[in-house]
Amino acid sequence: MYAAKKAGRNCWRFYEAIMQAEAYEKVLLTNSLHHAVERGELLLHYQPQVSVDSGAVVGFEALLRWNSPEHGSISPVQFIPLAEQSGLIHAIGEWVLREACRFARWLADQGWGHIHVAINVSPYQLCSDRFIASVRDALNDFGVEPCRLKLEITETVLIVSLEESTRRLGELQGMGVQFALEDFGTGYSSLTYLQHLPVKTLKIDKSFIDMDIGG
């Protein structure tokens, strides 16, 4: 059933031994992920965001990585869906948020208070009743100006509820938090939705700029 869903639904798949092996691996990874934060296995790499006009660094994007003693280096593409499915995304997202604010505080202390820090936010986090309070607490605890935090969301937040997502984003915008829409073009691909979202930055999906060099 899960293999058929993964293939795009409205189809069928025969059972194969590899399916059981993949399911077992997911269980092992999920169990290990439960302890990743407390064991200090997660880390953030900060990728500079540079202005095309001036060449100056205007921000950093926090990229989450997981180095597991049992499983080695695990790609976010692999462990983020597991975190969302298991509900661990809330604890992990909280850790990312606070670490990013800690880094923003460090930047300000070094005289780079004009630089923002961006983090990815899962739709599951945004839908949590606790999320707005978590953002407010992290900003206050580290003394970070709200405008120095940029939350990167995907178009999938619109699938849950456009009205509710807009309300939550609007409340965060009222605090001064910035937003970016990531992977634009892979979901709704409609500029209409942008009229309802407090988003000032679009991150165009790379499928729009990839070129067939061999053509």
Assess whether 27 and 105 both reside in one domain. no
The domain of 9 spans 1-33
Residue 196: pLDDT over 90: no
Q: What is the per-residue pLDDT for 205?
A: 64
CATH number at residue 67: 3.20.20.450
Number of domains in the chain: 2
Confidence of residue 164 (pLDDT cuts 50, 70, 90): confident
Q: What is the per-residue pLDDT for 182?
A: 79
Domain membership flag for residue 79: yes
Q: What is the mean pLDDT of the chain?
A: 83
Domain membership flag for residue 103: yes
Assess whether 49 and 87 both reside in one domain. yes
Residue predicted with more confidence, 147 or 195:
147
Please give the model's pTM, rounded to 2 decimal places. 0.81
> What HEC string does the chain produce?
CHHHHHCCCCCCCCCCHHHHHHHHHHHHHHHHHCCCCCCCCEEEEEEEEECCCCCCEEEEEEEEEEEECCCEEECHHHHHHHHHHHCCHHHHHHHHHHHHHHHHHHHHHCCCCCCEEEEECCHHHHCCCCHHHHHHHHHHHHCCCHHHEEEEEECCHHHHCHHHHHHHHHHHHHHCCEEEEEEECCCCCCCCHHHCCCCCEEEECHHHCCCCCCC
Confidence of residue 24 (pLDDT cuts 50, 70, 90): low
Q: What is the per-residue pLDDT for 192?
A: 62
Mean pLDDT of 168-195: 76
Assess whether 106 and 15 both reside in one domain. no
Residue 75: pLDDT over 80: yes
Assess whether 4 and 54 both reside in one domain. no
